[in-house]
Amino acid sequence: MLHRRSPALAIMLTVIIPTHNSERALVPTLAMLIPGAMSGTVRDVIVADAGSADATARVVDVAGCDIMVSGAPLAARLRSAAAAARGTWLLFLRPGVVLEPSWVGEAARTIEHAVLRGTTESHAAAFRRATETDVTLPRQLIALFAAAWRGPHPEQGLMLSREAYDQLGGHRDGVADPERELMRRIGRRRIVTLRSAATGWRW
């Protein structure tokens, strides 16, 4: 269901999702990706599973995605999934994260601009943090300032070219949070924040 022919101009995006007993969180994330597959922006989806004992594998199968099951540490599973990707760009998402519908067009435009400008080696992007509508304005401002100080978080997703990922050496072993460590290595100034919001984050 999620496999479609990708359009020209190198807009071929592989979505990589690490999971471990994530059946419930995974459903809305995979459902959100369907419009991207229908438009051709999403080339394939790879679930890097740690050997879930729940119905994670069944959810992946029903969605028509690929699954790679391994007991290896998270960093190794993510690198293996990236190596198997058919897309020229990678989007790392955590299960449970849902992007606004506008993400498909914005991601495609971001990739197009990077390709046309020749910045695929240095370009990376994350999605905007959704703000809580039920909190007061001061609390929203505090949350925004805190987010800016901490820099992008893996729950915002990370989109970059395979070329850039390979040059960075991918996710590193031996760190507490290889996803966040990769973002720190890229540097917050090199990660563009897209307008489309990511919801479902839990930090």
More confident residue, 5 or 103: 103
Average pLDDT over residues 59-69: 97
Sign for the pseudo-dihedral over CA of 167, 173, 175, 180? positive
Does 22 map to a domain? Answer: yes
Taking Cα atoms as reference points, which of 203, 79, 77 lies closest to residue 151? Answer: 203
SS3 of residue 96 by DSSP:
coil
pLDDT band at 201 (very low <50, low <70, confident <90, very high): low
For the stretch 176-200, pLDDT in tens is 999 999 999 999 778 999 999 999 8
Residue 203 within a domain: no
Closest CA to 198 of 154, 164, 162: 154
Show the beta-strand stretches assigned E in 100-169: 124-129, 158-161
pLDDT of residue 150: 56
Q: Give domain status of residue 6, yes or no.
A: no
Burial of 10 (0-12, 13-18, 19+ CB in 10 A): middle
On whether residue 3 sits in a domain, the answer given is no
The CATH number that applies at residue 135 is: 3.90.550.10
Q: Which residues pair with 199 in a beta bridge?
A: 98
**Percent of the chain beyond pLDDT 70?**
83
Q: Please check whether residue 8 lies inside any domain of the structure.
A: no
Higher local confidence (pLDDT), 141 or 61: 61
Q: How do strand 98-99 and strand 42-49 relate by DSSP bridges?
A: unpaired
- Mean model confidence pLDDT for the chain: 87
Q: With respect to residue 4, please indicate whether it lies within any of the assigned structural domains.
A: no
pLDDT in tens, 120-177: 777 799 999 987 554 455 544 444 444 444 578 999 999 999 999 999 999 999 999 9
Which tokens is 144 given? 């925004």
What is the pTM assigned to this prediction? Answer: 0.86
Look at residue 172 in the predicted model and tell me its pLDDT. 98
- How far apart are the C-alpha atoms of 79 and 120, rounded to whole Å? 19
Q: Convert the pLDDT of each residue in 70-82 to its tens digit.
A: 999 999 999 999 9
Specify the pLDDT at position 120.
79
H or E stretch at 46:
strand 42-49
Q: What is the pLDDT of residue 121?
A: 79
Give residue 119's pLDDT.
79
Task: Write out the residue range of the structural domain in which residue 72 sits.
Answer: 13-198
Q: How many domains does the chain have?
A: 1
Residue 159 lies in a domain: yes
Rounded (10°) angle between helices 56-63 and 23-39: 20
How much is the pLDDT for 141?
A: 46
Which residues lie across from 191 on neighbouring strands?
A: 124
